[in-house]
Amino acid sequence: MKVASIFKSLLLSLFSLVAFAAPASNQAPGRTWITDVSIISPESLDHVGQGSVLIENGRIVSVERNKSAKTPAGATVVSGKGQFLIPGLIDSHVHLANLPGIGFDRVEGKSEVIKAYYKQQPRSYLYYGYTTVVDLAVFDHQVLDDFRHAPLYPDLYDCGESLPFANGYPMSFLPPATRFKLFPNFIYDPKQASSIPFEYKPEDHSPAAAVARVKSSGGICVKTYFERGFGQDRNLPVMSPDVLAEIRKAATQAGLVLMMHANSFEAQQFGVDGGVDVLAHGMWHWGDLDKKTELPPEIRKLLDQIVEKKIGYQPTIQVLQGELAYFDPEYLKIEAIPRVIPKEMLEWFNSPEGKWFKKELTDDDTPDAVMLKAYDRGPLRRVRQVVAYLASKDANFLFGTDTPSSPTYGNLPGLNGYLEMQQLQQAGLSLAQIFRAATISNARKFKIDSQLGTIEPGKIANLVLLKKSPLESLDAYDSIVTVWVHGTPVSRDSLAVSSNK
Ligand SMILES: [Zn+2]
């Protein structure tokens, strides 16, 4: 090698070192020594002990599990005496552009409240310890861009624009004139050529082309759907196994995680047969077996396959609770609500017009108690039986909330995660299972575990300090003291709405 080229390569490697070490906007420079704290990290749950964690330039540098470790020079010391340090939580199923309680056809005249909601949203996730979120279906890039440019925000990954089957769920909810514009990454169906606008060419909407668009937009996952629909939208078109196989093949080649919206026995069977990586909902529709009070053997057989293949499973029980919120007179009184959404938004939820979605859930004046009971005996019972069975087999649960399962006001950012954890516990998950689902299991399935999911040297310093242990009680997740976002410490109180002026 000539001297000049040695010099050149030295310069290059120096340059890349500098570039690597320079703190990005979301990082705190300097060193912090969190000491005298119980370290709870999912890869070593059997030896939780007192120790210290050194963070520097937004990364975890060392983890000392003995009490006598010396304070590193120049470090800011944070005593965690009597407290618990966990990795930042990951919610792997959110929809950042969706507005809780509003719905896209009701945005007129609400621009100020919508602006305030989007501004608060990243803080509300952090308020409940979520330092990473995955948006499964992008359709408003501006909202995601703004989120990433907030002064403080959780790490955001996404699945790009989702892949609905032409005229199927969920594009079917929109009028034919707008559905193709809002879901431009749909999969073409030659059988429906007459109901697909002429400007969309089959070759641009093949599974390979759609997955390629997700990849080039920077997505880490692909989201598709199998849903025949309900109510007036029954018998929606769904993809064949051949189409799913093509999506599977393209996603594998692109290194993307394949996720499927599937909440029925039929849909989850379809997804498992097609080799998806993640089922994005719990199974609350059992089809012809809906009335069976015990878990039917044919469903158990499918759940065994889900366990054996380690398919990621997101129960999203709060999707159902989100609908029930309209029949629960206590819901809008939850004390934390004014801390996670703007005051004006809550006022509107409390107004008669703000309850418009309730009328879409019941077509008559059914008493609230009757609705609550119907859910409890129907879909909620079924999903709880499924989740209990999967928990008993230690399935690969992934923590995801589907916040907000639009257009309900029953799923609010951050808070909904805490409510979902309560649902999971009630359905039979242990505290350790919930903890792993929201940390290491999510990180591994989405292939971000080299950066996130545990408290280990080299990882991003996304950390949460709690007054209580999450292995002893669920309300630990509501006892947050400090959240570190890429090494920047933020007190929980400062993340609440009243502080966001
Ligand atoms: Zn969703």
289, 301 contact by CB (below 8 A)? no
Separation of CA 19 from chain center: 31
Cα–ligand 1 centroid distance for 394 (angstroms):
24
Cα–ligand 1 centroid distance for 383 (angstroms):
16
Give, in degrees to the nearest 5, the angle at Cα 431 between 425 and 432. 135
Residue 472 exposed, middle or buried by CB count within 10 Å (0-12, 13-18, 19+)? exposed
Look at the chain and count its residues: 501
Looking from the CA of 464 toward its CB, the CA atoms found within 13 Å total: 33
Cα–ligand 1 centroid distance for 103 (angstroms):
15
Q: Tell me the DSSP string of 474-501.
A: GGGGG-EEEEEETTEEEEGGGGSGGG--
Q: Name beta bridge partners: 62.
A: 54
Residue showing tokens 């950066």 = 451
Cα–ligand 1 centroid distance for 224 (angstroms):
10
Is the peptide bond between 87 and the residue preceding it cis, with omega within 30 degrees of 0?
A: no
Cα–ligand 1 centroid distance for 278 (angstroms):
12
Is the peptide bond between 404 and the residue preceding it cis, with omega within 30 degrees of 0?
A: yes
Cα–ligand 1 centroid distance for 461 (angstroms):
28
Cα–ligand 1 centroid distance for 300 (angstroms):
25
Q: Looking at residue 352, what DSSP letter applies?
A: S
What would you measure as the largest C-alpha separation in the chain, in angstroms? Answer: 85
Q: What is the pLDDT of residue 499?
A: 61
pTM of the complete model:
0.93
417, 91 contact by CB (below 8 A)? yes
262, 226 contact by CB (below 8 A)? yes
Q: What is the pLDDT of residue 5?
A: 37
Which chain residues have CB less than 5 Å from ligand 1, an ion?
Answer: 402
Distances (CA, A) of 199 to 211, 281, 384: 20, 34, 45
Q: What is the pLDDT of residue 106?
A: 84
Cα–ligand 1 centroid distance for 136 (angstroms):
6
Cα–ligand 1 centroid distance for 223 (angstroms):
9
Cα–ligand 1 centroid distance for 29 (angstroms):
36
Name every residue whose Cβ is closer than 8 Å to that of residue 9 and which is 6 or more positions away in sequence. 1
Pair type for strands 480-485 and 488-491: antiparallel
- 461 is written with which tokens? 């310093």
433, 399 contact by CB (below 8 A)? no
Distance CA 203, CA 206 (A): 6
> What parts of the chain have a pLDDT lower than 70?
1-29, 499-501
42, 440 contact by CB (below 8 A)? yes
Distance CA 182, CA 304 (A): 37
Q: What is the pLDDT of residue 36?
A: 95
Cα–ligand 1 centroid distance for 95 (angstroms):
7
Residue 294: count other Cβ atoms within 10 Å of its Cβ: 8
Distances (CA, A) of 116 to 41, 121, 274, 285, 368: 35, 9, 42, 36, 31
158, 136 contact by CB (below 8 A)? yes
Q: Please name which of 466, 402, 465, 390 lies closest in space to residue 434, comparing C-alpha atoms.
A: 390
Distance CA 341, CA 141 (A): 22
Give, in degrees to the nearest 5, the angle at Cα 233 between 230 and 235. 85
Distance CA 304, CA 313 (A): 12
Cα–ligand 1 centroid distance for 280 (angstroms):
7
206, 246 contact by CB (below 8 A)? yes
Indicate the residue type of 39: I
Is residue 116 left, alpha or beta, with left meaning phi > 0 and alpha meaning psi from -120 to 50?
alpha
Cα–ligand 1 centroid distance for 498 (angstroms):
29
Helix residue ranges, H only, 62-218: 111-127, 141-148, 176-182, 207-216
Cα–ligand 1 centroid distance for 404 (angstroms):
8
Distance CA 124, CA 9 (A): 46
Residue showing tokens 């994005």 = 280
Cα–ligand 1 centroid distance for 97 (angstroms):
12
Cα–ligand 1 centroid distance for 161 (angstroms):
12
Rg (CA), the chain: 23
Cα–ligand 1 centroid distance for 271 (angstroms):
16
Q: Is 230 helix (H, G, I), strand (E, B) or coil?
A: coil
Cα–ligand 1 centroid distance for 58 (angstroms):
31
Cα–ligand 1 centroid distance for 119 (angstroms):
21
Q: What is the pLDDT of residue 501?
A: 54
Distance between first and last Cα of the chain? 59
